[in-house]
Amino acid sequence: MIARATRVAPSAEPCPLHEALGRVLAEPVTSPADLPPFDNAAMDGFALPLEAETLPAGHELEVRGERAAGDPESAQRTACEIMTGAPVPDGLGAVIPVEQVEVLAADAAGLPTRIRLGAEVRAGQHVRRAGEDLARGAVALEAGTRVGPAQLMLLAGLGVGRPSVRPRPRVALLCTGRELVDDPDAPLASGQIRNNNAPYLRARITAAGAELVLYRTVSDDRDALRAALDAALDAGAEVVVTTGAVSMGKYDFVPDTLDALGAETVFHKVKMRPGKPLLFAQLEARGALFFGLPGNPVSSAVGFRFFVEPALRARLGLPEERPLRVPLASAYAKKPGFRVFTKARVEVGEGAQLCVRVLPGQESFKVSPLAHANAWAVFPEDAERLDAGDAVEVYGLGHFGFELETS
């Protein structure tokens, strides 16, 4: 599956910084300048000349002028009043906070002209050196980094206005089922249910770094599905995700529809719970990947998280995801023969140690436990029972970062 996802080599495109939140860097960002760009004061106070490594408390100095943030860099040999962020004049080597200074004299405008130090001053104190945060030419961010608020702050500080990013994989979502109602305000007729897969998967597609190019709810009809698939491909979808109609029932028409279209079904049914009927195919006409997820909400969530998201990671040029291994809070038993994905919470347990708790309500139709989960705990196929303290694989709800909550 991953090999097919990476047949298209990841490319790159420039992105305006104000649109870069959530994007994945395609290339390393090398610092084009020192950060900070010049020596500057870390405190409001006085910049002082130093002829030795220290100046003793009680030392008196003449003061001439002041420097504020935004003033140009300059050179000076006498002490000056200085504000936080202002360039420290060349020739001055330390800053003493204003509260540690006694003003002995001032001019007619009230500006200090002579001061006495109330504390010892060491060379370099309260001075932010040029390049102390990041030196010119250093790698600021590696390729594959997802741009979050902190990365935006760094890029803006470096003056990187158009970082190179991976294009968002283009995804289409098709939910099948004549019983589905999309409008949450619409009353339900007898036999109808609300389509809760759609908002979940639409949100997960975006959170996974992809672009949703088409969404449709499709009735249990082959022609309707074929028309929706054509529309998805016309919209440029590289990945098509469907929900429902992939099992063995009378109206599970997705496999036959794919066969009629000449798609290559790579696998259908997986030794896992929930989500066993999952189908993966390649639409030969245009090479798009196809994921047929089961209709039960948690089965659909598991299929997306552990099959679609790895494919999206590959399209984004990211390495294979690695899980955490976290001790179980309590024993867990399962039937062997299936890999089991459980709704879980990673918490801080006794002794301030992380542990993972499998939530009650693991049936694939039960949505409410997922709303309280912050992780997936995964149990291997051959396992029957794991005891409290045994380590299991734990994944975040999405592939970007671990959504840890401890409350």
Question: Which CATH number covers residue 375?
Answer: 2.40.340.10
pLDDT confidence of residue 407? 36
Question: Is 89 found in the same domain as 208?
Answer: no
pLDDT confidence of residue 287? 85
Q: Which of 326, 334, 380 is nearest to 353 (CA)?
A: 326
Summarised one tens digit per residue, pLDDT across range 241-284 is: 999 999 876 668 999 999 999 999 999 999 999 999 999 999 97
User: Rounded to an integer, what is the distance from CA 204 to the centroid of its chain?
Assistant: 12
CA dihedral 249, 255, 256, 261 (to 10 degrees): 160
152: CATH = 3.90.105.10
Question: Is 101 found in the same domain as 229?
Answer: no
Give the global pTM. Answer: 0.88
Summarised one tens digit per residue, pLDDT across range 38-60 is: 999 999 999 999 988 999 999 99
Single residue among 275, 292, 315 that ends a domain in this structure: 315
Question: Is 329 found in the same domain as 309?
Answer: no
Whole-angstrom distance, CA of residue 159 vs CA of residue 177:
50
In a domain, residue 374? The reply is yes
pLDDT confidence of residue 349? 83
Domains identified in the chain, total number: 4
Question: Is 259 found in the same domain as 217?
Answer: yes
Question: Is 262 found in the same domain as 185?
Answer: yes
Helix (H) or strand (E) holding 332: strand 332-333
In a domain, residue 404? The reply is no
How crowded is residue 120: how many other Cβ atoms within 10 Å of its Cβ? 14
Question: Is 45 found in the same domain as 102?
Answer: yes
Single residue among 263, 297, 315 that ends a domain in this structure: 315
Question: Is 96 found in the same domain as 179?
Answer: no
In a domain, residue 135? The reply is no
Question: Is 181 found in the same domain as 238?
Answer: yes
Single residue among 285, 315, 345 that ends a domain in this structure: 315
In a domain, residue 134? The reply is no
Question: Is 184 found in the same domain as 302?
Answer: yes
In a domain, residue 407? The reply is no
**DSSP per position, 109-123:** TS-EEEEEESS-EET
In a domain, residue 223? The reply is yes
Question: Is 307 found in the same domain as 202?
Answer: yes
In a domain, residue 2? The reply is no
Q: Kindly list the distances between the CA atom of residue 55 and the CA atoms of 95, 100, 122, 147, 176, in Å, as whole numbers in the listed order.
A: 11, 13, 7, 45, 78
Question: Is 192 found in the same domain as 49?
Answer: no
182: CATH = 3.40.980.10
Helix (H) or strand (E) holding 276: none
Question: Is 196 found in the same domain as 95?
Answer: no
Whole-angstrom distance, CA of residue 336 vs CA of residue 351:
32
343, β-bridge pairs: 376
| Domain of residue 92, residue span | 40-128
Low-confidence stretches of the chain (pLDDT beneath 70): 1-9, 249-251, 285-286, 401-407
In a domain, residue 402? The reply is no
Q: Enumerate residues 6+ apart whose C-beta is below 8 A from 97.
A: 43, 44, 45, 126
